[in-house]
Structure 1
Amino acid sequence: MSPPAARRASMALLLSAGALGCKPSADRPAEAPWVWDLPPGFPAPLVPADNPMSAAKVALGRMLFYDKRLSADESLSCATCHQQALAFSDGRTTPVGLEGDAHPRNAPTLANVVYAPRLNWADPGTKALEAQMEGPLFGHGAPIVEMGLVDEPRREAALARLLADARYREAFARAFPDTATYTFVHVGKALASFERTLVSGMSAWDRYRAGDDAALGPAERRGMYITRDHVGGALCHHCHDGFNLSGPVKHVDAPFDEVVFANIGLYNVGGTGAYPEGNQGLYEHTKNLSDRGKFRTPTLRNIAVTGPYMHDGSVATLEDVLTVYVEGGRVIEAGPYAGDGRKNPHKSAGLSGTPLSAEQRQDVLAFLGALTDEAFLVDARFSNPHPEDPHFGE
């Protein structure tokens, strides 16, 4: 990870790999350069210069991603909230942390996270996966305790648990052959390397784009045209565009560092334009009232398996999601969040509603279903490497 120097010092819990019997780097053959295995039309990902890709780091990161020993009480892994069968989301309204508290934000898919210019739902500053991981791993309850490594003793204990396992001693040595001591900096780099390989781009829609006309049925094609060609006034492609069906992406040839946050009128608490306290999006960082309710546009890839939806998981089904856009916002009749989101004064331009017929809605839903990459959901390269070991799992 890439924390400031002071924080790095507090988390640099040095454990000697040599003392634990790791093989000296001079005895290991040099590893071949990393080669991306990308779907057709996908640009080369942008990787931090201080954490180049390697097969050994990816393999170590895959182990760490599924290992419950990385949480304070050995009950949670990264995969608990990011499950492969659900395109690395978790199927909950919001995840539950180590202490039993519900997170205010829905667990986003990690599919194609390597192309995301910003991470988390509404954080304008977190650009690198290495830095993003500090929240779930080390967070002191802001907003909740997730994996619980909130202080030095807990982090030291977690590293000790990992490096007591001979598989980890060998994996760390292969991934980082130029050092004999390992810290959470190395953990973060390995996890980030694995997550950058979670590339999804072989859905029926992708096959259709590649020339397989039979890949999409009539309803799916009609739905595609609706989302793409302003049919019924739909403006879907303005926010869900390009190969990733998302907002702006980063890659080696991207000329700008761009990110878009949008308010879709999901709330308008008391008619004030507010979203629920503690979950007001970009506003929590900028304190600009115009940023209330603005969140990052997620990818539509694998959308059929990543519900419930929105930043807080408050929309249960894709049918309900479509209703929000058709009506230009959501009306909450009663309760603490009552208000007419259609009239939110901070709602982003162009989201005033889309008068689609019932048949057109079904066509759009059919198209969204065609964005599921079934192979990605079972790809052995991304699965639990040690399912027989109770330390590993979701």
Structure 2
Amino acid sequence: MFDLPSGFPQPKVASDDPMSEAKVALGRQLFYDQRVAFNGQGSCVSCHEQRLAFSDGRVTAIGPAGDVHPRNAMSLTNAVYNSRQNWANPNIKTLREQALVVLLNQDPVELGWQGHEQTILDRLRADADYQARFKSAFPDQGEPFTLDNVARALAAFTATLISGRSAYDRYHDPTTPDRTAMSDAARRGEALFFSEQLECNHCHNGFNLANSVVHAGSKLDSTEYKNNALYNIAGPASGYPLDSGNYPTRNQGLYEFTLKAGDMGRFRPPTLRNIALTAPYMHDGSIASLRELIVDHYAKGGRVISEGAYAGDGSKSPNKDALMIGFTISEEEVDDLLAFFDTLTDWEFICDPRHADPFGKIPMNEHCKVAGS
């Protein structure tokens, strides 16, 4: 069922919700079907396009009725390996749970199923193709058209979005390495990335270049949340009892669930796979480019915002991670690091027809057209 790249572990699958080709096929159809939104004008692909490694290119996501989400749409690359879904919700462990959040969320409205469940299910049930697909995906159920089955199918398709055949992977293939896959500049950038000079690998490591990973062989919960000194707002914000180190309202990370001062601004570091395609960056999409991310944020040990409501020096935040100490980096080294990030783009994944829009309406990445010509 899973087409695993070399060296990748078997994903963890719930025993009461096994994978099947029929369930994945149904999930793909639902993922791209505009009728899945309450108003018939949106779907999962509204925020997760294959050409952008299943992100959306916006600062923050926008719902089908125009609701503006406070968060940047995370890439779905290797989401099946996330030990927690979402940026900072410690309660959402599985893709099925995440799908239910998107379907039912009211603040903001995403796909808008709350209060419209039966209407949307009836809309799908009226389609003869869906009648066959739901019956095939859930053969033991007399009435397969349920909210939970929609979530299960979406989760099954999302679980297949596995990326691990980039130039970086080909270079480091444990069985047949291709030593021509990475340029000298990219190799230098890789060495920088994993060096103690930059400390990047402490948050982005292992086969998924992320430290919050789960798979079939996992024994421990490896979930970590980090404050990377993006904000340091002085004074109490919206009633939160902190004198400094605040983050903007509705974007305060793990703190929103624990109410512990030390959790202010802590978010889950995402995978860096396909990172060159998923701009803008950070949980709120507030950094436009990878160069800006390196030079104006991490190299300085935190971002400085000189004026406005969010003014503050992130490097002086009392809550920032201990490894956010900054570093000195030359322009040539920045270029090398960017070359390394480029090697994390998996064009086989980005152009894989198995993940593409079955309705043929969502355009593929221009690279796919060139590669296929």
Provide TM-score, normalisation by structure 1.
0.87
Alpha-carbon distance between aligned partners in 1 of 2:253 and 2:64, rounded to the nearest angstrom = 24
Instruction: List aligned pairs for 1:122-133, cutoff 5 A.
Output: 122-133=88-99
Could you tell me which amino acid in structure 2 is paired with residue 289 of structure 1? A
How far apart are the structure 2 equivalents of 1:98 and 1:172? 24
Q: Aligned residue for 1:337?
A: 310
Q: Which residue matches 2:286?
A: 314
Within the candidate set 43, 49, 58, 1:92 is matched to 58
1:322 CA displacement: 0.7
**Structure 2 unaligned blocks of 5 or more:** 236-243, 363-373
Amino acid at match of 2:272: L
State which of 262, 270, 290 in structure 2 corresponds to 1:290: 262
Cα distance, 1:388 vs. partner?
6.5
Within 5 Å, give how 1:237-316 maps onto structure 2: 237-270=201-234, 272-316=244-288
What is the letter of the counterpart of residue 50 of structure 1? D
Deviations 1:96-127, CA, capped at 9 Å, x for gaps: 11331211000000010000000100011110
Write the distance in 1 (CA, Å) between the matches of 2:247 and 2:308. 13
1:257 CA drift (Å): 1.5
The residue type equivalent to 1:279 in the other structure is: N
Match of 1:83 among 28, 38, 49: 49
CA distance in 2, matches of 1:235, 1:312: 23
Distance of 1:301 and 1:225 partners within structure 2: 17
SS in 2 for 1:158: helix
Aligned partners of 1:100 and 1:194: how far apart in 2?
26
- CA RMSD, aligned part only? 1.1
1:169 and 2:131 aligned = yes
Specify the alignment match of 2:148 in structure 1: 185
Instruction: Kindly indicate whether residue 334 of structure 2 is the aligned counterpart of residue 354 of structure 1.
Output: no
Aligned with 2:178 (options 198, 201, 212): 212
Post-superposition offset of 1:157? 1.0
1:383: which partner in 2? 356
> 1:276-298 CA distances to partner (integer Å, 9 max, x unpaired)?
01110000000000000000010
Asked if structure 1 preserves the Cα contact closer than 8 Å seen for 2:39 and 2:65, the reply is no
Deviation per residue, 1:233-278 (Å, 9 max, x gap): 1101111101101113100111101200000100001271000011
Question: Does the residue aligned with 2:347 lie in a helix, a strand or coil?
Answer: coil
C-alpha distance in 2 between matches for 1:192 and 1:136: 12
SS at match of 1:261: coil
Provide the secondary structure at the position in 2 that maps to 1:307. coil
Q: How far apart are the structure 2 equivalents of 1:300 and 1:114? A: 15
Q: 2:347 aligns with which of 360, 369, 374?
A: 374
In structure 2, what is the equivalent of residue 112 of structure 1? 78
Counterpart in 1 of 2:365? none
CA 179–321 in structure 1, closer or farther in 2 if over 3 Å, else same: same
Could you say which residue in structure 2 is the equivalent of 1:156? 118
2:21 maps to what in 1?
55
Aligned equivalents of 1:384, 1:180: Cα separation in 2: 29
Local SS of the residue matching 2:30? helix
State how far apart, in whole Å, the 1-side matches of 2:327 and 2:21 are. 47
Q: 1, 11, 36: which one pairs with 1:70?
A: 36
Alignment-derived partner of residue 4 in structure 1: none
CA separation of 1:388 and 1:102: change in aligned 2, threshold 3 A: closer
Q: Is the 8 A contact 2:166 2:345 kept in 1?
A: yes
Report if aligned partners of 2:227, 2:266 keep a CA contact under 8 Å in 1. Answer: yes
Cα distance between partner residues in 2 of 1:98 and 1:69: 11
Name the counterpart of 1:227. Answer: 193
* Worse-matched range after superposition: 128-137 or 62-71: 128-137
- Is 131-140 or 301-310 further displaced after alignment? 131-140
Q: 2: distance between equivalents of 1:377 and 1:69?
A: 25
Partner of 1:327: 300
- SS of the aligned residue for 1:213 comes to coil
- CA deviations 1:297-346 (Å, max 9, x no partner) are 10110000001000000000001111211110000000000000000000
SS in 1 for 2:180: helix
The residue type paired with residue 307 of structure 1 is: A
